[in-house]
Structure 1
Amino acid sequence: MKYSKLDAKDYAREHMRGIWAAALNPFNKDLSLNEAGLRANIRHWIDDLDIKGLFIAGKQGEFFSMSLDERKRNFEVAVDECAGKAGVIISVSDQNFDTVLKLALHAQNCGADYIVVHAPVLSFVYDRGEVLYQYYKALCDRLDIGIAMWSHPDSGYIMTPEECARIAELPNIVAIKYSVPREMYAQLTRMVGDKIHVSTASEDEWLDNIEELGWQLYLCSSPPYHYQTKNDKRMDEYTRLAFAGKFDEARRVRDSLNPVREAVSKSRPADKPQAFGKYWQELLGQVGGHVRPPMLELTDAEKAAIRTAFEGCGLRT
């Protein structure tokens, strides 16, 4: 560990900054994890795109289709390849508490910087706030590593700002990935922004959140490596400009990416996010690969439409 439990918040405020991307996992034709492909992608993301940190084994990475041993190996490969050149936050999310704890201990022991834990699905619960607090407290009591909350409608509900703020007081809660409407994450930022990082995956709101909410962390999704190439790092550029207070210039750079955003939005088939993301990676020269059930593969017609959109979006490869 690079910090103690009681220093976790301060460490994260200093080191958990900039653009962090959620990694897709490349699977081979036989659906085994393509470790060499993942390592190649990580090298590109760090060395060529200057991405500051990686979110490993999340929903983008199809953790729900992986065995516990595969998830642990996924952690190890990412930590080894990042090798201190980029931060690593690992999703240890699961509905079973013992599984979350075992994965969290493995992440802590193999050298991850932080973990993220999705809010659990709750059934027949009246006082949800107390259940959530005790859930995260039980993890904090057993772990030293910094923990990020993760609230998303996939849980069947979204945590309220008040529920999040109470949990944020726990010593090694360092961040939240808050997939909610902007007014909710803005409220939470005003409540706890001096204690933990508040972030969301919406790239098109990132610049406004730097300027208006003082955010320092983008946590995280695939745009950092879908919207950028070694020769075209406009997301990195507008982020640096915004951090320097040059917001007018940053907006011009951000807005120049609108054709890319539109190409992605218009060509991405409904219900095939991972397959789309992997194919877009392949068009960029990264390692994409297959998806695992229950996720669906692209049809040839869908690939053709995506390729046409990609070729006209203006990314400089």
Structure 2
Amino acid sequence: MKYSKHDAKDYARANMKGIWAAALNPFNNDMSLDEAGLRSNIRHWVDDLDIQGLFIAGKQGEFFSMSLEERKRNFEIAVDECGDKAGTIMSVSDQNFNTVLELAQHAQDYGADYIVVHAPVLSFVQDRGEVLYQYYKALCDKLDIGIAMWSHPDSGYLMKPEECARIADLPNIVAIKYSVPRDMYVKLTGMVGDKIHVSTAAEHEWMDNIEELNWKLYLCSSPPYHLQTKNDKRMHDYTQLAFEGKFAEARKVCDSLNPVRDAMARSRPADKPQAFGKYWQELLGQVGGRVRHPMLELTENEKAVIREAFEGCGLKL
């Protein structure tokens, strides 16, 4: 651990900044984890794209298809490759509380910087506030590592800003990935101030959130390595300009990525997000690989549509 439990908030304020990306996991044709491919991708993301942190074994990474040992190995590879050059936040999310704890303890013991825990599915529960508070409190009581909340419609509900603000008072809660409508995360940002980082995965809102809400952390999805190449780091560039208060210049760079965003949006099959992301990586020269069930692979026709969109999007390889 690089900090004590009660220093977690201060440590995250000082170190959990900039662009953090959610890693897709490459799988081989035999469906095993492509460890060499993952290591190659991480080196590119960190060394060439200057991504400042990685979100490991999340939904982008198909954690739901992985065994506990594979998820732990996923953590280890990321810590080894990131070293002191980039941060790590490990998704330990699971519906089984003991599984969450086991993964969290492994992340903590192996040297991860933080963990992220998805809000649980709460069947039949109508008044969720106390249930959620006690859930995150139980994790905080048992762990020293900094913990990020994660609220997304996949849980079947969205955590209310008031519920999140109460949980934010726990000593080692350091952030929230808040995949909610903008009015909700604006409200929460006002309620918690700089107590914890509030962030959302929508890259097209990142520029506004730096300028209007003074956000310091993009946490996180795949755009940092889908919108950028070694020779074309416009997301990095507009972020740095915005952090420096050069908003007009930053906006111009940000808007220049619209053809890339549009190309991705119009060519992405609605039912194949991970397969699309991996194929786009391959077109960029990264390692993509297979997806596991229940996710679906792309058809050859879908690949052709994506290739055409990619070739006209304007990214410099």
Structure-1-length-normalised TM-score = 1.00
Provide the residue aligned with 2:33 in structure 1. 33
Does residue 273 (structure 1) correspond to residue 292 (structure 2)? The answer is no
Identity of aligned residues (%): 83
Q: Distance in 1 between matches of 2:222 and 2:27?
A: 17
3-state SS in 2 of match to 1:298: coil
Q: What is the CA deviation profile of residues 223-245 of structure 1, one whole-angstrom value per residue up to 9, with x for unaligned ones?
A: 00000000000000000000000
Aligned-pair CA distance for 1:53 = 0.2
Provide the residue aligned with 1:113 in structure 2. 113
Q: Distance in 1 between matches of 2:173 and 2:256?
A: 36
Provide the residue aligned with 1:227 in structure 2. 227
Q: What is the CA deviation profile of residues 269-300 of structure 1, one whole-angstrom value per residue up to 9, with x for unaligned ones?
A: 01100000000000000000000000000000
Gaps of 5+ in 1: none
* Map 1:212-251 → 2, pairs under 5 A: 212-251=212-251
* Map 1:299-314 → 2, pairs under 5 A: 299-314=299-314
Q: Distance in 2 between matches of 1:316 and 1:239?
A: 18
Does residue 165 (structure 1) correspond to residue 154 (structure 2)? The answer is no
Aligned-pair CA distance for 1:127 = 2.5
**Displaced runs of 4 or more, over 3 A:** none
Q: What is the CA deviation profile of residues 107-141 of structure 1, one whole-angstrom value per residue up to 9, with x for unaligned ones?
A: 00010000000000001213210000000000000
Aligned-pair CA distance for 1:263 = 0.2
Aligned-pair CA distance for 1:179 = 0.2
* One-letter amino acid of the structure 2 residue matched with residue 84 of structure 1: D
Q: Distance in 2 between matches of 1:125 and 1:23?
A: 32
Provide the residue aligned with 1:67 in structure 2. 67
Provide the residue aligned with 1:144 in structure 2. 144
Gaps of 5+ in 2: none
3-state SS in 1 of match to 2:296: coil
Q: Distance in 2 between matches of 1:29 and 1:126?
A: 44
Provide the residue aligned with 2:135 in structure 1. 135
CA-based RMSD of the aligned residues comes to 0.4
Provide the residue aligned with 2:82 in structure 1. 82
Q: Distance in 1 between matches of 2:192 and 2:117?
A: 18
Structure-2-length-normalised TM-score = 1.00
Q: Distance in 1 between matches of 2:124 and 2:279?
A: 41
3-state SS in 1 of match to 2:121: coil
Provide the residue aligned with 1:96 in structure 2. 96
Q: What is the CA deviation profile of residues 166-224 of structure 1, one whole-angstrom value per residue up to 9, with x for unaligned ones?
A: 00000000000000000000000000132000000000000100000000000000000
3-state SS in 1 of match to 2:20: strand
Provide the residue aligned with 2:208 in structure 1. 208
Q: Distance in 1 between matches of 2:244 and 2:125?
A: 46
Provide the residue aligned with 1:183 in structure 2. 183
Q: What is the CA deviation profile of residues 1-46 of structure 1, one whole-angstrom value per residue up to 9, with x for unaligned ones?
A: 0000000000000000000000000000001000000000000000
* One-letter amino acid of the structure 2 residue matched with residue 66 of structure 1: M
* One-letter amino acid of the structure 1 residue matched with residue 122 of structure 2: L
Q: What is the CA deviation profile of residues 138-163 of structure 1, one whole-angstrom value per residue up to 9, with x for unaligned ones?
A: 00000000000000000000000000
Q: Distance in 1 between matches of 2:86 and 2:123?
A: 38
Aligned length: 317
* One-letter amino acid of the structure 1 residue matched with residue 18 of structure 2: G
Q: Distance in 2 between matches of 1:150 and 1:193?
A: 18
3-state SS in 2 of match to 1:218: strand
* One-letter amino acid of the structure 1 residue matched with residue 224 of structure 2: P
Q: Distance in 1 between matches of 2:185 and 2:31?
A: 37
Q: Distance in 1 between matches of 2:144 and 2:240?
A: 32
* One-letter amino acid of the structure 2 residue matched with residue 260 of structure 1: V
3-state SS in 2 of match to 1:170: coil
3-state SS in 2 of match to 1:293: coil
Does residue 298 (structure 1) correspond to residue 298 (structure 2)? The answer is yes
* One-letter amino acid of the structure 2 residue matched with residue 4 of structure 1: S
